[in-house]
Every structure is written in structure tokens, then in C-alpha cells.
Amino acid sequence: MDLRAYRDIAWNGWWKQNPGVVQILGMCPTLAITTNIVNAVSLGLATVLVMAMSNLASSLLRNFIPYEIRIPVFILIIAALTTVVDLAMNAYLHSLYLVLGIFIPLIVTNCIVLARIEAFAAKNEPLASTLDGAAMGLGATMVLTVLGAMRELIGNGTLFSGIEMVIPGAHEIQVFGGDYPGFLTFILPPGAFFALGCLIAGRNWLEARRQARARSNPPAPQAPEPTSAEPA
């Protein structure tokens, strides 16, 4: 693959086929854990690591896995890597690990991870597969982060609540001041659905505008290269 192909893979994960606002996959952690930025980013980065390493391992082993048992083997790979991430977070970020709870082990059942292994890693080279997993994971993390920021800001009037669990001594930012009454709906599940709907609508609007500009400004045709005339 050339550089353009790798760029297309990254763009596909971040925007064109974003798991959160285009494919609408992994809605359980997306809606449940995005009550603030810290939780959203932490779960997103854990998912990025699992997706990138799972795609790499599956791509390296794809020629040795019988087709009939590929799904159980892929799930076993995902489960092993998720266990490593789960134990590492429990050891080094224990307070955050307690907050995220069951959603770290549930990365195993996240349909985004298995879908990318089956659709891409099982058919492509290791480097491209790793980039695809990382790009899809970062695309999902971007959605989680924006969703968490929206819900935390409108719901509590703060940003980076719980940052002390990751960076000792750091504090949350009171954007609207300590007397902000909060908007409880955005912290509850209905607020998550509403905020996600706004993100999907915003992405679709931006994509429609981009396509409209592309149609109104088509690329100029390239002139054929001159050929040297042969002597008579």
C-alpha cells in the first residue's frame, strides 16, 4: 500500500465510516460512560489499544486460522488483549478503574472490535490492519470525548471532572461558576440520546455541505502531457 491508501484508511475511521456517528456501533458504552470527559477519553483510549493490537494479531495469524473457527479465535485474541488492559488499569489507575467498572471487560463484546477484524484485518497486511484499528478506535474516542464534554458542560457546568484520578493534584474546571444549578437531563440517559442525535445530525450536515461544494466545484480536467513528435 502507498501513502494515499494509508491516508484513506485513517480518513475512513475518523470521518467517513466513524463507528459512533455513521455506523452507530457500540452504543452501550457510548451512552453509559460519557457523563464526563475523563471517563469518555479513558474508555476510548483503552478501546483504541485493544482494537489496534487485535487487528495486528489477527492480521499476522490470519493465514494460520481455519475459516470455520475464525470467529472464536478472533474473540479469544480480543479477550486476551482486553484482559491485559483491564489488569493494567486496575494496577496503575485503580480509582478510574473502579469508576469505569464493567465497561473495560465489556470491550470484548464491543461489536466495533470484532467487526473491524472480520471486515479488514482478516484480509489485509499487518501495518494497514493496525492503522485501521487505531483509526476506528480514535474515531470512536472522538465521539465519546465530544459527547462527554457536551453532557458534562451542560449537565454540571464543569469540564474534566474526575481528572484527579488520572493526574494527582489536578482539579476540574468550573466553567459556569459554582452556583450553576446544572441540567440533570443531560447527565441522565435521555440526555445521552439527545446529545448523540445532535452529533449525528451535525456530522451529516457537514458531510452534505462538503459533497455540495465538491459538486459545485469539480476538479479541473488535466491537460494531456505533450508528446514529442518523431522526426520525419
pLDDT at residue 211 tops 80 = yes
User: pTM for the full model?
Assistant: 0.89
Where would I find the beta strands (DSSP E) of 115-161? Answer: 158-159
Residue 82, Cβ density class (10 Å: 0-12 exposed, 13-18 middle, ≥19 buried): buried
Among left, alpha and beta (phi > 0; psi -120 to 50; other), residue 223 is beta
pLDDT at residue 232 tops 60 = no
pLDDT at residue 159 tops 70 = yes
pLDDT tens-digit map of 193-206: 999 999 999 999 99
174 strand-pairing partners: 158
